[in-house]
Amino acid sequence: MDKSRTGTATHPHGSVKAVLFDAYGTLFDVYSVGLLAEQLFPTQGQALGVLWRDKQIEYSRLVTTSSDGAHYQPFWDLTRAGLRYACLRLGLDLTAEAEERLMNQYRHLSAFPENRGVLQALKDKGIVTGILSNGDPAMLEVAVKSAGLDDLLDHVISVDSIRKYKTHPDAYALGEQATGFKAQHIGFVSCNSWDALAATWYGYCTLWVNRYKLPFETLGTSPTHSGKSLRDVLTFLTP
């Protein structure tokens, strides 16, 4: 059996040659939309931000697993659909103007402050860097440029090319294809526990960034490493 596909592969310290980051929730703060949401819908901003994100992810799984992906839609469209659902669920009157303002805010999500320093340190060590994301290419291009990270990323990989979202194994395989390295030599970093778990199962050397002090998924597999911020990449994934 190929252990790199079971999440049981070993990852000797210093064996990582590339580090790939999830984008939404890991490099870019998906809950930063809550500030504008609170302005538009007083007392409901945080609830809207959380429900919007949850529905966005739920829809990505739904369109991947239903009818062999026949119902696939780009992540931008799923993001809009998730916003509309969240407002319906919360009983909020989402005008066309408010929808466009919130969608534009999602296009320009706040970046976490340590991003640039961590990516620069990886480049200085000769580590290949990249993003592996559910976001479609246009979304990622704007987000990366807005955060000023385009000069520090060797790869910006979107699952849109295969029309399957994470956690499908084909989505994680894109990292190997782009970098030319086997999974056991690639570090994968995510703040989303479900993403870190699936990447571990695939065979990546994983770092779960637990910013919100949450328990990890209780399915019998742990990430290779756990940390509190992206800076832990430099502790756990590089020599």
Give the residue numbers annotated as catalytic, written as ranges. 22
Of how many residues is the chain composed? 239
Burial 74-112 (b: 16+ CB within 10 A, else e): bbbebbbebbebbbeeeebebeeebeebbeebbeebebb
Q: Where are the alpha helices (DSSP H) in 29-180?
A: 34-40, 45-65, 75-90, 96-107, 115-124, 137-147, 169-179
Q: Read off the tokens for 12.
A: 């000797």
Beta bridge partners of 231: none
Q: Which amino acid, residue 23?
A: A
DSSP E strand stretches across 92-236:
128-133, 155-158, 186-190, 205-209, 225-227
DSSP structure class, residue 131: E
SS3 state of residue 129: strand
SS3 state of residue 201: helix
Beta bridge partners of 209: 227
Distance of CA 5 to the CA centre of its chain: 20
125, 158 Cβ separation under 8 angstroms: no
